[in-house]
Structure 1
Amino acid sequence: MVVLYGLIFLVVLVAFYGVGVYNRLVKLSTLVAEAWSGIDVQLKKRYNLIPNLVETVKGYASHEKETFENVTKARNQAQNATTVEGQQGAENQLNRALINLYAVAEQYPELKANENFLSLQNELSDIESDIEKSRRYYNGTTRDYNILIDSFPSNLIAGITNFKKAAYFEIDVEAERENPQVKF
C-alpha cells in the first residue's frame, strides 16, 4: 500500500512538473512573439520615414536614380518579409542601400545643411537606436526560450508538445564590422 501511495505521489509530482515546464514554455514563447512585435513596430516607423528621406535627397541629387530605386526596392522587400530569417536578410539589404543613400547625401553640402534632411536623419538615428534595443530584448527572450527547449528534462516536454527553437535577429552590416579609419 505504501508503495502504491509512493507511486501515485511520484506520478502526480511528475505531472505537476510537466505542467509547470509547459506553462513556462508557453510564457517564453509569448514573450518571444511580443518581443518580435516590438521590433516590427520600430521597423514600420523606419519604413514610413525612409520615403521622406529619399524624397528630400532626390531634390538635390536627382541623377542618382539607381540609388533611390535600390532603397525603395530594399524597403519593400523588408516590409514584405514574413520570417525572422527573411527579415534579417531584407534588413541587411536595406542597411546597405541606406549607407549608399547617405554616401550620396555627403556629396551635397547644401543638402547636409537642409533642416528637413537633418531632422529626418536624426529621427532615423533615434529609430535605429530603438530597433537595436528591441533587437536586444528579442534576442535575450529568444535565448531564454531556446535554453529551456534545449535543457534536460524540459526538452522532453518541449519535444512532446512541439515547441520549436526561435531564430535570433541579427543584422549583419559589414561596415559595422570593419575597423574604423582614424585620420588626422
Structure 2
Amino acid sequence: MFLSTTGTVLIIVGVIIVLIVLWYIGTMNSLRQLELKVHEAESGIDVALTKRFDMLVKMLETTKGYAKHEAETLEKVVKWRSGIPQNATVKDKEEFLSQLNQVASGINVVVEQYPDLKANTVFLGLQSAVANTEEHLQAARRLYNANVTRINTVIVTFPQSIVANAIHMEKKAYFEAEEKKREDVEFKF
C-alpha cells in the first residue's frame, strides 16, 4: 500500500524535524565541549601563574638579605598566596601577571646592585626555574587563546550562532597583555 500524499508529507516533515533536533543537540554538545576546553586552558594559566608566583617568592626570599625594601614588592602580590581565586576573571589574572612582572623587575634591580648574588647557586637554580615557568605560562596562554578563538568562531558562525544564542553562550575574552605588559620581563643576572 502506498501512503497518501498527506502521509508522505508528514513523514518528510517528521524526518526533517528529527534531523534538526539531532543537529541542534550535536551543535550544543560541541559548544559545551569547546567551553570545557577553554576552562581547561584557563586552568593551565592558573597553574603557570601560581608556579611563577612561587618561584618569584623564592627568589625574593633569596634576595631578602641583600635588599630589605623588596618586602613591600612582595606584599603587592601576597594576597594571591593561596592560589588563584575561583572567581578570578581573565582580567584579574592579567592584573596579577602585571604585578608579578613588577616583582620580577624589582628582583632585577637587586641583582644589578649586588653582583655576588649572581654566584648564589640557589638563586641560579631559581633563575632557571623562572625561565621554565615563563615558557610554561606562554604556552598556557597560547593554548587558552587558541581555544577561545575556536569557541568564538563557532559562536558567531551561522547556523551554530542560533544554538549559541539559544543557550546564552557568549564570546570568551582573550588573555591579552596591555601595552605595558607586552614588554618582556628582562632578567639581568
Secondary structure of the corresponding residue to residue 65 of structure 2: helix
Given that 1:88 and 1:170 are in contact with CA atoms closer than 8 Å, whether structure 2 keeps it comes out as yes
Distance 2:20 2:147 in 1: 26
Secondary structure of the corresponding residue to residue 17 of structure 1: helix
Residue type of the alignment partner of 2:129: E
Is 1:108–2:114 an aligned residue pair? yes
Provide structure 2 residue ranges, at least 5 long, that are not aligned to the other structure.
1-6
Select 1:74's aligned residue among 63, 74, 77.
Answer: 77
TM-score, length basis structure 2: 0.84
1:128 Cα deviation (Å)? Answer: 0.9
1:48 Cα deviation (Å)? Answer: 1.9
| Match of residue 129 from structure 1 | 135
1:1-184 correspondence to structure 2 within 5 Å? 1-62=7-68, 65=69, 67-77=70-80, 79=83, 82-172=88-178, 174=180, 176-177=182-183
- Deviation readout 1:158-183 (Å, 9 max, x if unpaired): 111122222111234637548x9xxx
Secondary structure of the corresponding residue to residue 126 of structure 1: helix
Distance 2:84 2:141 in 1: 19
Cα distance 1:96–1:173, how it changes in 2: closer, same or farther (>3 A)? farther
1:2 Cα deviation (Å)? Answer: 2.1
Given that 2:45 and 2:140 are in contact with CA atoms closer than 8 Å, whether structure 1 keeps it comes out as yes
Distance 1:29 1:171 in 2: 22
Cα distance 1:58–1:126, how it changes in 2: closer, same or farther (>3 A)? same
Given that 1:88 and 1:171 are in contact with CA atoms closer than 8 Å, whether structure 2 keeps it comes out as yes
| Match of residue 3 from structure 2 | none
Residue type of the alignment partner of 1:91: L
- Deviation readout 1:39-92 (Å, 9 max, x if unpaired): 111222222222211111111123xx1x43123313535845511111112211
TM-score, length basis structure 1: 0.86
Sequence identity (%): 34
Provide structure 1 residue ranges, at least 5 long, that are not aligned to the other structure.
none
Larger Rg: 2
What RMSD in Å do the two structures reach over aligned CA positions?
A: 2.1
Distance 1:157 1:129 in 2: 37
Secondary structure of the corresponding residue to residue 10 of structure 2: helix
Distance 1:166 1:119 in 2: 37
